[in-house]
Amino acid sequence: MTVSWRSRPKLFRICLLLCATGAVSGLFQLQPLKSNVLQGSDARFNATVQGNWQFMTWTFQEILVLSFFSNGDITSSKEQFSARFCSGGDTSCVEFSIHNVSRNESGPVICIVLGGRSETAQLEVQERGTVNIKGENVTVIQGQQVEFLCVTSAWYPTPTVSWTWNGQAVNSSLYNTSSMADGDTFNSTSVLKFQAESNTTVECRATVQALTNPESSSVFLVVVPKPPDWTVLIAVVLSFGGSALLALLIIGIIFCYKRRKEKQTNYQDEMSKRVRTQSQLSVVNAAGQGVYENTGYVSEDQTSVAPSEHTDSGFWQPIGSNVNEVPVYSIHVANDYDNTVDQSGFRKHRHVTIV
């Protein structure tokens, strides 16, 4: 049975009667003493009474909002508040619920068993915000340092931010988190830095006590093998290349020097030959000026005179003479006395022949 808020005076009179009739025997307990719930969800409190009881009241934010009788009757001020026996119909346990709580409804919840004592619990309404890792999947070289930025927005209270690698918690020394108020909520930034070694799923998590599972955002880190260090190889190649070039340069210089020496030697030999030739010609010319020889000369001891014949060169030569004709390779020098005629009637000719 539900009683409207307008019957409150009657309810108080009942309470006074119950208080006058007797007290609660046994133990009274309220749980939980502190409840953290998310905005928009339900808050629930259990009151356990061992022994006989007749009537209890629930006060929220210092306002009486519900009365519950041991026979199950309820008097509630709003539909937002409700009560019932716990599971199994156990009359020693009553569950009190506040539905669709909002941020401004945080405060104390008081349960009073008439004829007994009261218990107080604290309700805190929290707000879940957003989590986002800036950027998308990242590809880096093995051993390179990477940095990830996680931003949380519109949380209450300040969220707890953590990081994981492939589901494993990251040491808190590798990241730094800072928070600041934004109106009645809080924003946070967290920066994670580490050295990339292998492919990893990086996840940023944010949570408050009211959350069963944290909010998260993740990206995938792709690590490519580190390229080989070409420095040593390049240094070796440059070293050998420089040595080879130097060797080629030296060989080229030696080759050019030899060619030059050969040319100089050939030139000197040629000049020497020319000088020798000129010297020989000079000697021949000098000798030719004082030597005259007439190949057609016949001695006076000859008993007969052979017929003579005038040659094409203008010289007389006896026909059938025993004097052999020698090719002339010499210089012919003729003087005036060559034209003289001896007593035998022959004209004397002198020729110089050099073989």
Q: Return the higher-pLDDT residue of 8 and 93.
A: 93
pLDDT of residue 90: 79
User: Is the pLDDT assigned to residue 355 strictly greater than 80?
Assistant: no
pLDDT digits (tens, 9 = 90+) for 101-134: 999 999 999 999 987 688 999 999 999 999 999 9
- What is the pTM for the complete model shown? 0.58
Angle at 93 between CA 89 and CA 95, to 5 degrees: 95
Question: Domain range holding 252?
Answer: 229-288
Nearest C-alpha neighbor of 25 from the set 67, 54, 45:
54
278 and 352 belong to one structural domain:
no
85 and 10 belong to one structural domain:
yes
pLDDT of residue 241: 82
Last residue of a domain, one of 105, 126, 147: 126
Banded model confidence at residue 252, pLDDT cuts 50, 70, 90: confident
pLDDT of residue 120: 95
For the chain, percent helix, then strand, then coil, each to nearest 5? 25, 40, 35
CATH of the domain at 196: 2.60.40.10
Q: How many domains does the chain have?
A: 4
Q: Are strands 2-3 and 74-76 parallel, antiparallel or unpaired?
A: parallel
- Sign (positive or negative) of CA dihedral 233, 236, 237, 238: positive
Last residue of a domain, one of 192, 224, 256: 224
pLDDT of residue 260: 79
121 and 167 belong to one structural domain:
no
pLDDT of residue 21: 41
pLDDT of residue 337: 43
35 and 150 belong to one structural domain:
no
70 and 102 belong to one structural domain:
yes
Residues 6+ apart with CB under 8 A from 7: 75
pLDDT digits (tens, 9 = 90+) for 207-245: 999 999 999 999 999 999 987 767 777 777 888 888 888
264 and 354 belong to one structural domain:
no
118 and 12 belong to one structural domain:
yes
16 and 116 belong to one structural domain:
yes
76 and 108 belong to one structural domain:
yes
Last residue of a domain, one of 288, 308, 330: 288
pLDDT digits (tens, 9 = 90+) for 280-339: 777 666 655 554 445 554 444 544 444 444 444 444 444 444 444 444 444 444 444 444
Q: To the nearest whole number, what is the mean pLDDT of the chain?
A: 78
243 and 303 belong to one structural domain:
no
d(CA 140, CA 219): 13
9 and 112 belong to one structural domain:
yes
- Sign (positive or negative) of CA dihedral 331, 351, 349, 292: positive
Share of the chain above pLDDT 70, in %: 71
Q: Return the higher-pLDDT residue of 149 and 294.
A: 149
257 and 312 belong to one structural domain:
no
Count of beta carbons in the 10 Å neighbourhood of residue 79:
9
